[in-house]
């Protein structure tokens, strides 16, 4: 994956550079912030300002193509570095 590639926010669908988005992955059913944006597997990209909406919509399950609803509240304290 190129760091210059453009990612789409799972909440607002606006396209942004990866540096302006949080990358969230699911590991063993838990949502984890990928600070280095380097963890393998499917990632969900979301603006900091869109995070609360993503959680309230339960957007991560769809974005990460999970079969089980993750605990979306795992993501509530995630901060963009």
Q: Which of 22, 26, 50, 54 touches Zn ion by CB under 5 A?
A: 50
CB of residue 47 vs Zn ion: minimum separation in angstroms? 3
Nearer to Zn ion, 13 or 65 (CB): 13
DSSP codes, 10-70: TTT--EE-GGGSEEEEEETTEEEE-TTS--SS--EEE-GGGHHHHHHHTHHHHHTT-SS--
Q: What is the footprint of Zn ion within residues 30-49 (CB under 5 A)?
A: 47
Residues that bind Zn ion (CB under 5 A): 9, 11-12, 47, 50
């Amino acid at each position: 994956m190129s760091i210059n590639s453009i990612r789409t926010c799972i909440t607002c669908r606006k396209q942004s550079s990866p540096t302006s988005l949080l990358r969230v992955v699911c590991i063993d059913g838990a949502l984890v912030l990928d600070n280095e944006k380097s963890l393998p597997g499917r990632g969900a990209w979301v603006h900091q300002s869109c995070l609360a909406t993503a959680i309230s919509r339960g957007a991560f399950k769809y974005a990460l193509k999970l079969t089980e609803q993750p605990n979306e509240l795992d993501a509530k304290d995630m901060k963009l570095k």
